[in-house]
Every structure is written in structure tokens, then in C-alpha cells.
Amino acid sequence: MFPAAVLPRRPPFGDNPRVGASGTRTQQRILRAALEVFGEVGYHACGIDRITAQADCSRPAFYQYFSSKEDLFRALSGELARRLLELTGRPDRIGSDGAGWSVLRDFVGECGTVFDEYFPLFAVFSTAEAVDDAVASGSARVFRRQAANLIDRIDRKGLRTRRLDLVTSVLLDGLWRAHRFRRSLAHADAVQVTSDRLDDALTDVAHRALYGQRPGINVRAHLGPALMPIAGAAPGWSADGAEPPSSPAARRTRSRLLDAGREVFVAQGYHDARVDDIVERAETSHGTFYRYFGSKDDLFRILAARSGRVVVEAVERLRSTVDTSDAVSTADLRTWLRPYFRAYEAERPILRSWVEASWADQALRQVSPGEVAALQQRLARFLAPRRFGDIDADALVLMALLDRSLAFSAPEGPGERAVVDAFAEVMQHGLLIVP
């Protein structure tokens, strides 16, 4: 399952740190067990006792190879990083012709295979990097190296973009998120997009973004959306809560608690946020808190619903701003992208906590696939008038591209304007009718 990278035995477990065949098998068994446990219970609830029980080994055996759960997670991340860098660093060239499309399709397909193999790691990664600076900094370095490797393989002949570095980063980041959304849809009453359909769509979108729309190569026959009714919110899943108070004073108190809760979740994340922190920041009592909310989970569901509504409303504005039945200019896309990015950036801490909370809160875990499906349906309706390509699969790609939005505009990064331009190029050439 994992590449044959040998981890040395930690001192003081013997004078010779080299690991033999038996030790290597034990290491691999622990790594496989940890991957399964991360997928079952999430990052925070994954403890060493769970891992050793799954691996059928003792705690001393675990500590021969790993100093902690965090150390083990970094080892798993290193294994994954080596796989990804090997994939992006191959010598075959990506060009504008059919052969270049095939090279890109092979790369995308292999990435999908690696994603499914390491899915639990991808599922908990945002939580791990939020609490472990080593994971976060290592992830950023590996991503930059992946993008650089991929850029080196791209043939400049026929290239349509002047922002190759940013466009490649946007596409690569969206690739991994698209497969996560694909797996989420499998748990919802939704249009299902197979791995092969998604890989074809990812390849088409990327190839069009790089080289423009080329009939017979990256523009396939129209496959209209299998539209389903957009599901309403689940019972009790409301941006205002199931039973908001009626009196003005009670509404103000409840609003103050929600504001305090948002500040605490943004600052500390879902797992480390406590009711104690919320009531202290709201300058009220535990009794007052429990008058309005049964737990921190109840409060967080309202905040998550509000953040989700912000994103949905932004997507609805996309449908009213951009007409996909005709040629679309980058200026029209920029008009929508700038406020979308700012709105998404403001909600991103809550959306990230939503992922973390889903492992602990069964209600959130059940509603999340439905929210993904509803957003995919909205984007499929947006793309439907385009009249070429696989609309449902491309809608999934577009949703993945728009997720995390300002991931490339850190203070030391290229800035909002360059990021907006790169996203506008990818959307225009990769997903819409170009002028």
C-alpha cells in the first residue's frame, strides 16, 4: 500500500537503528492501521490505543517507530508527498495536441487513484495542518514543488495563458478537492459522477485552460445535466435555529452568544472551543448559554448554516451575473469573483471547522453531503446553457476550483488581483464559451 520508505527504529530500542524485514512489516501495519482509524474517527479522536489495537501491536512497539500520533501523521504525509512528487515529476510532456491531452489524462487518473488510496489522510488534513505547524509548512512546500514539476512538463507552444504558475496552482489544488466532493456525493441522494467521468472532466478543463478550446481534443459532445430537485435544509438545520426567541432582549442575548461562538471557533477551531470560552467572551453565564443552546454543537450548526448560506447566495449571484449561453468575458467573471472571494474568505474558518466538526457531530456529518449535492446542482444549472461537455462533471470541477478561493493570496503571495485574473482565465477558457 505504501512506498517502501524505511523509517529507522527510535532510540533507545536497540543499538542498531536499522529495521529488518519483521520491523518493516510492523511499521507498515501501524501505518495502515492509523490510516484506517483516521478515516473512521477523524484526527482528534484518533489515539495511539486505537491505532495499536487496529494494528494488533503493543504501545512499546508503536513507540519504537513513532514518538506520537503527530509524528506518525507526518510520516504518512511524507509517504503521500513522495507519491505526489513522483507523479508530477515524470518526464513525459503535456502539449496542446491529442497526445498531450492523453499524458495529462494519465496524470489526472493516477492522482485519482492515489486520492482514493489515501482518502482518510486527505479527509483529516485540514484539521491536522490547523494544529501542527510542521504539517502546514510541509504541505505548502510539497504543493509548490508539485506545481513547479508540473509546470516544467507543460509545452509552451500553443499556450493561451500568461499566468502559467498561478493557473497551474489553481488547477492542481482543484483536482484534489474535486475527488473529495465526488466521494461526498456518494453519500447523498444526488447525481453521481464516476471517477472516470470526473477524470475526463478535470483533464478537459485543465487542457482548455492551458491551450484553449480544441474540438476533437478537449471539447467533447454535450451531456446535459441529470437535474434533480435542489434539496431544502435538513430538519433543525437553519441559519436562525429551530426556535429563535421572540422577545427583543432574548434575541440580543442569543445573538451575542452566536457572535462570541463564532469568534471562539475561528480562533480555536471546533475541537478546542469550549462553552466556557464562549460564555466568557459573551460576558454571560452557563445558565444563559443553555437557555438557548443544548451544546456547543447546537450553536455551531447555526453558524455553519449561516456560512453555507453565504456561499450559496454568492453562487446564485454568479448565475445572475454571467450568461453561459454565450461568450463570456473575463471582465464579467472578475465582477463576480472579487466579492465572492472576499465573502468566502470571511467564512472559510467556519467552513474549515465544519469539516472538523463533522467527525464528532453526527448531525453535521449527515447533512454535509446534501449541502455539497445542492451546490453541485446549482452550478450544473449555471453551466447547462453552455451546450458542450459533461455538465454534471464540470459542475463538480467548478465547485472544487471555487473552494478555498484565496488559497494563493497569502501576504507573501501574488495578491488578490493576480489570483482573480487567474481564476477568471480558468473559468473562461476551461468552463465557459470564450469570445
Q: pLDDT tens across 64-75, in order?
A: 999 999 999 999
Mean pLDDT of 276-287: 96
Q: What is the pLDDT of residues 420-429, one digit of tens each?
A: 999 999 999 9
Contact 23, 9 (CB under 8 A): yes
Mean pLDDT of 4-28: 63
Percent of the chain with pLDDT over 70: 89
Distance CA(122)–CA(38), nearest Å, equals 10
Distance CA(213)–CA(302), nearest Å, equals 43
The DSSP code sequence of 402-422 is: HTTGGGG--TTSS-HHHHHHH
Per mean pLDDT, which range of 8-22, 40-54, 88-102, 207-221 is the poorest? 8-22
CA nearest to 145, candidates 125, 163, 177, 172: 172
The residue with cell 478537459 is 204
Q: Taking the complete model, does pTM exceed 0.85, yes or no?
A: yes
Mean pLDDT of 183-207: 91
The residue with cell 432582549 is 249
pLDDT at residue 152 in the model: 96
Query: Is 70 exceeded by the pLDDT of residue 283?
Result: yes
pLDDT at residue 239 in the model: 65
Q: What is the pLDDT of residues 296-329, one digit of tens each?
A: 999 999 999 999 899 889 888 888 888 898 888 8
Mean pLDDT of 109-119: 95
Omega prior to 215 cis, within 30 of 0: no
pLDDT at residue 410 in the model: 54
Rounded to the nearest angstrom, the gap between the alpha carbon of residue 123 and the centroid of all alpha carbons in its chain is: 8
Query: Is 70 exceeded by the pLDDT of residue 7?
Result: no
Query: Is 80 exceeded by the pLDDT of residue 6?
Result: no
How far, CA to CA in Å, does 142 sit from each of 115, 146, 168, 309? 16, 6, 14, 33
pLDDT band at 360 (very low <50, low <70, confident <90, very high): confident
The residue with cell 465547485 is 399
Query: Is 60 exceeded by the pLDDT of residue 244?
Result: yes
Distance CA(91)–CA(95), nearest Å, equals 13
CA nearest to 110, candidates 125, 140, 95, 90: 90
Distance CA(434)–CA(161), nearest Å, equals 13
Query: Is 60 exceeded by the pLDDT of residue 12?
Result: no
CA nearest to 342, candidates 320, 362, 317: 317
Name the most confidently modeled range: 162-166, 230-234, 363-367.
162-166
pLDDT at residue 72 in the model: 95
pLDDT at residue 24 in the model: 82
pLDDT band at 252 (very low <50, low <70, confident <90, very high): very high
Mean pLDDT of 174-197: 89
Start-to-end CA span in the chain (Å): 47
pLDDT band at 242 (very low <50, low <70, confident <90, very high): low
Give the mean pLDDT of the chain: 88
pLDDT at residue 34 in the model: 95
Q: What residues are paired with 390 via a beta bridge?
A: 223
Cβ-based neighbours of 180, under 8 Å, separated by 6 or more: 115, 122, 123, 400
Query: Is 60 exceeded by the pLDDT of residue 115?
Result: yes
Q: What is the DSSP letter of 283?
A: T
Contact 8, 39 (CB under 8 A): no
CA 394, 399, 405, 408 dihedral sign is: negative
CA nearest to 173, candidates 196, 214, 139, 133: 139
pLDDT at residue 4 in the model: 45
pLDDT at residue 282 in the model: 96
Count H helices and E strands in the chain, helices first: 17, 0
Return the exposure string of 298-331: e unless at least 16 CB atoms fall within 10 Å of the residue's CB, then b. bbbbbbbbbbbebbeebbeebeeebebeeebebe
The residue with cell 438557548 is 292
Contact 382, 318 (CB under 8 A): yes
Q: What residues are paired with 154 via a beta bridge?
A: 94
The 10 Å Cβ neighbour count of residue 181 is: 21
pLDDT at residue 406 in the model: 47
The DSSP code sequence of 32-50 is: HHHHHHHHHHTTTT--HHH
Distance CA(370)–CA(421), nearest Å, equals 31
Query: Is 80 exceeded by the pLDDT of residue 361?
Result: no
pLDDT at residue 241 in the model: 65
